[in-house]
Amino acid sequence: MKKHVFIVASFAVLSLLSCKKNESGNKSIIREDSSSTVITDDNGKIDSATVSSSSVDVDGKKQVKTDYVYKATDGTLVKVVFATTPQESTVAITSNKKTFTLKKTEAKGDETVYKKDDMTARVKGDSLHLEQGNNIIELKKTKI
């Protein structure tokens, strides 16, 4: 009987000692960054529809890329990246693992037109109208 009590007691002591919590944590886990990034539009207002925005100076020239998520009328989500460099402005539209890059051809008032071959994208406010031949796809900017 004493043997059983001694075994149970020693097992309990060993299990309590082996469960000692290590305060330093797991070294292979990356800690979460608590800083937040706020994206603003050209007017300085917070833009909640922007997924990411970056500007890079290369040889003193400014390059800006801004990513948005648009939603088609059928519910399909489309990634749209507006890129501006000193040489040109482009829009890259990605859907179903296919990307179409169109160059800016004109800007009239609050509408900007991008074209490549038979594809035309008209951006006005939060909407993007994509035309290819007789097909017209309407996209609206989403807030994620």
- Number of structural domains (the chain) is 1
Residue 112: HSE in the Cβ half-sphere, 13 Å Cα cutoff = 13
67 within some domain: yes
21 occurs within a structural domain: no
Residue 27 is predicted with a pLDDT of 47
Do the domain assignments include residue 30? no
User: Which residue from 80, 86, 73, 71 is spatially nearest to 50, judged by alpha carbons?
Assistant: 80
- For residue 70, which phi and psi values (nearest 5 degrees)? -110, 155
The CATH number assigned to the domain holding 133 equals 2.40.128
In a domain, 1, yes or no: no
Please report whether residue 58 resides in a domain: yes
Owning domain of residue 112:
50-141
Look at residues 80, 86, 81, 35 and name the one whose alpha carbon lies nearest to residue 56.
86
Find out whether 103 and 114 touch, Cβ atoms under 8 Å: yes
Is residue 70 assigned to a domain?
A: yes
Lowest mean pLDDT among 6-10, 69-73, 115-119: 6-10
Residue 23 lies in a domain: no
Looking at per-residue pLDDT, the higher value among 113 and 43 belongs to 113
Q: Supply 53's token pair.
A: 């925005």
| pLDDT value for 116 | 93
Residue 131 within a domain: yes
Q: 78, 71 in Cβ contact below 8 A?
A: yes
| Under 8 Å between Cβ of 119 and 131 | yes
Q: What is the mean pLDDT of residues 48-58?
A: 60
